[in-house]
């Protein structure tokens, strides 16, 4: 049997792991009788921890929603995992300071041995750029906005907001937040059409009050992340292009991530890749990685950029091996 102080911590730790614990099961986990468990629960309540008792066949003990929080009980690997996660988000624009403060608070509630372990990891780790998939700087993340959007999803509360440079406010019913490539998206049904759309969070300026509650009509299949990938690939980029490729559609599809774009069949030997990115440079990188012959006719800015790249690569070759222009 555990000593009383250790047992109290064990009870708190177990109560954190799920919503409700039957008394007999909880007592068995800490190797005491139910009478001793009831005394332990009373001691914890006297210390300010909100523990509810629920009667009936489905009853037992659970942590209340108000009052003091129980101590943070993490084992070595859990503490390291939390520290690694907080350390990684230091590179996300907009929440660098928030993550640093959260890590400092985490250290305050850890035992000395774990605190030293986490601090050593923090002091010995450098974080590389968070977004290396594009040459466009990642937009800042507003934690308050994300929290408001998440609450609207949870409470089935419609939102009113300005989107990007649009002068007219938008109304939509939000269902899910999705994070992808250092950007956040709110998946919502746009009013009054009910059309599904992925709205970039950094383009949203919420208006208060909102647009009232809505009756949920979830996305068919429920895969909101997949919807974002498809929606962004077709409409969500700053630059869009159609690339003619001298290869069958199946060959192109085998060489790209489906989120890069949509491949259309022209004939058995030719296809068109409809793609986009946040910059001309990234489109040029993606189509260059196809390893297939392609032709670019639009947009004009992309044609000019690839012509510049062609001259640059040609100029990088030794004179003896450069092909005549």
| Domain ranges for the chain | 4-63, 76-123, 143-221, 239-316
pLDDT tens per residue, range 62-115: 887 654 455 566 676 777 777 767 765 665 666 667 777 777 777 766 777 777
pLDDT at 294: 92
The CATH architecture that domain 143-221 belongs to is: Roll (2.30)
Predicted structure pTM score: 0.51
The DSSP symbol for 126 reads -
Classified by CATH at the fold level, domain 239-316 comes out as: Alpha-Beta Plaits (3.30.70)
pLDDT at 269: 93
pLDDT tens per residue, range 300-314: 898 899 899 888 888
User: Edge-to-edge strand order for the sheet containing 204-207?
Assistant: 195-200, 183-190, 170-180, 159-163, 204-207
pLDDT at 255: 85
CB 107 within 8 A of CB 123: no
Chain-centre distance for alpha carbon 249: 31
pLDDT tens per residue, range 1-48: 457 777 888 888 788 777 788 989 989 988 899 899 999 899 888 877
Q: Which CATH class is domain 4-63?
A: mainly alpha
pLDDT tens per residue, range 127-163: 555 555 555 666 776 777 887 888 889 889 999 999 9
User: What are the CA-CA distances from residue 16 to residues 24, 42, 176 (Å)?
Assistant: 17, 17, 26
Q: How far apart are CA 213 and CA 174, in angstroms?
A: 10
Question: Using omega within 30 degrees of 0 as the cis cutoff, is the peptide bond preceding 299 cis?
Answer: yes
Sign of CA dihedral 143, 144, 145, 150: positive
Q: Comparing 143-221 with 239-316, is the CATH topology the same?
A: no
pLDDT at residue 261 tops 80: no
Sign of CA dihedral 59, 60, 62, 67: positive
- HEC per residue, 238-286: CEEEEEEECCCHHHHHCCCCHHHEEEEEEECCEEEEEEEECCHHHHHHH
Query: Token pair of 300, please?
Result: 């004009």
pLDDT tens per residue, range 196-227: 999 988 899 998 777 888 999 999 888 888 88
Q: How far apart are CA 228 and CA 127, in angstroms?
A: 27
pLDDT tens per residue, range 274-324: 887 778 888 888 788 888 999 988 888 988 998 998 888 888 888 755 555
């Amino acid at each position: 049997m555990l000593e009383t102080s250790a047992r109290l911590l064990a009870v708190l730790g177990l109560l954190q792991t799920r919503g409700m614990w039957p008394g007999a099961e909880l007592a068995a986990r800490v190797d005491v009788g139910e009478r001793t468990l009831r005394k332990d629960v009373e001691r914890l309540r006297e210390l300010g921890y909100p523990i509810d008792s629920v009667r009936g066949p489905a009853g037992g003990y659970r942590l209340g929603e108000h009052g003091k929080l129980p101590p943070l009980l993490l084992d070595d690997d859990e503490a390291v995992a939390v520290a690694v996660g907080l350390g990684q988000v230091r590179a996300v624009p907009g929440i660098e300071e928030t993550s640093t403060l959260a890590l400092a608070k985490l250290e305050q509630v850890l035992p000395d041995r774990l605190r030293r372990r986490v601090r050593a990891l923090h002091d010995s780790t450098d974080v590389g750029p968070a977004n290396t998939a594009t040459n466009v700087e990642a937009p800042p993340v507003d934690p308050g906005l994300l929290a408001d959007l998440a609450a609207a999803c949870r409470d089935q509360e419609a939102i009113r907001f300005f989107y990007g440079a649009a002068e007219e406010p938008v109304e939509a019913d939000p269902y899910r937040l999705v994070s992808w490539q250092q950007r956040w998206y709110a998946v919502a049904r746009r009013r009054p059409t009910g059309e599904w759309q992925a709205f970039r969070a950094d383009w949203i300026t919420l208006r208060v009050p909102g647009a009232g509650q809505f009756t949920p009509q979830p996305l068919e299949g429920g895969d909101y992340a997949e919807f974002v990938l498809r929606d962004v690939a077709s409409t969500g980029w700053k630059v869009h292009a159609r690339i003619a490729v001298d290869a069958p559609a199946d060959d192109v599809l085998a060489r790209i991530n489906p989120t890069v774009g949509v491949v259309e069949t022209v004939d058995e030997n030719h296809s068109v890749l409809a793609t986009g990115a946040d910059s001309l440079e990234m489109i040029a990188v993606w189509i260059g990685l196809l390893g297939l012959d392609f032709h670019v006719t639009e947009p004009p800015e992309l044609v000019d950029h690839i012509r510049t790249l062609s001259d640059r690569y040609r100029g990088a070759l030794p004179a003896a091996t450069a092909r005549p222009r």
